[in-house]
């Protein structure tokens, strides 16, 4: 969907996603020393709010102003620890076209659904936002989820594998900390995501 479509989806319901952080984002980031983080395609801000609660200074970016407004209101209602809302900047921006300064210690991209050329543009910009030693954590619906898992988008053009992201970043200076398919329990069933964790040299 485009920005207008996501605006409509966010406007028509309560939280579209859980208020809790994505499980893989939490697993990969909970032990990191807080610094500056960029949450791309932040939606309603669940990962941004969680990172801010750990002491991160977070830029939450999404092309849906409605989603970000919901996140801002949610952050203002978080009482502990104090100052969560003050540590998040909410920015309307397109992950495929916005160039960020290379000043972030962490960039999180969770379930950004794009066709190949747009995904590659987003991946290159996400990586470019990292300063040396910074970490990229990318979580997405894996292509194999169509046949092996449950739920998620049914359009194969917006699914991906870890190797797709590594290919998108060919030539970039990074070390691979994790790149592969990961299971995600959904009730009694299992969905499959891809998880990529890179550290910029």
pLDDT(5) > 90: no
Instruction: Report residue 77's pLDDT band, with 50, 70 and 90 as the boundaries.
Output: confident
**Model confidence pLDDT, tens digit, residues 171-191:** 999 999 999 999 999 999 999
- Measured CA to CA, the distance from residue 64 to residue 17 in angstroms comes to 14
Count the residues in the chain. 201
**How many angstroms separate the most distant Cα atoms in the chain?**
45
pLDDT(81) > 60: no
Alpha carbon dihedral 126, 132, 134, 138, in 10-degree steps, equals 40
- Which pLDDT belongs to residue 189? 97
- Measured CA to CA, the distance from residue 4 to residue 7 in angstroms comes to 5
Tokens 């002491």 appear where?
Answer: 55
This prediction has a pTM of: 0.91
Instruction: Report residue 122's pLDDT band, with 50, 70 and 90 as the boundaries.
Output: very high
From 13, 30, 12, select the one nearest 21 (Cα to Cα): 30
- Which pLDDT belongs to residue 6? 54
Task: State whether residue 171 is helix, strand or coil.
Answer: coil
Name 157's Cβ contacts closer than 8 Å, sequence gap at least 6: 115, 116
Instruction: Report residue 129's pLDDT band, with 50, 70 and 90 as the boundaries.
Output: very high
Fold (topology level) of 3-7+36-200? Rossmann fold (3.40.50)
């Amino acid at each position: 969907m485009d920005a207008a479509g996501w605006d409509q989806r966010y406007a028509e319901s309560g939280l579209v996603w859980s208020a809790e952080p994505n499980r893989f984002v939490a697993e990969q980031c909970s032990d990191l020393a807080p610094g500056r983080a960029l949450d791309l395609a932040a939606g309603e801000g669940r990962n941004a709010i969680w990172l801010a609660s750990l002491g991160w200074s977070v830029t939450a970016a999404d092309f849906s102003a409605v989603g970000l407004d919901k996140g801002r209101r949610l952050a203002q209602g978080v009482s502990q620890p104090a100052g969560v809302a003050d540590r998040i900047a909410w920015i309307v921006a397109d992950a495929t076209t916005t160039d960020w300064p290379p000043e972030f210690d962490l960039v999180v991209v969770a379930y950004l659904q794009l066709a190949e050329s747009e995904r590659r543009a987003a991946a290159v910009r996400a990586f470019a936002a990292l300063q040396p030693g910074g970490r990229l954590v990318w979580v997405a619906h894996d292509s194999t989820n169509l046949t092996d898992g449950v739920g998620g988008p049914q359009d194969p053009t917006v699914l991906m594998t870890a190797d797709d992201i590594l290919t998108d970043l060919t030539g970039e200076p990074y070390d691979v900390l994790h790149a592969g398919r990961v299971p995600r329990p959904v009730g009694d069933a299992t969905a499959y995501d891809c998880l990529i964790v890179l550290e910029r040299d």
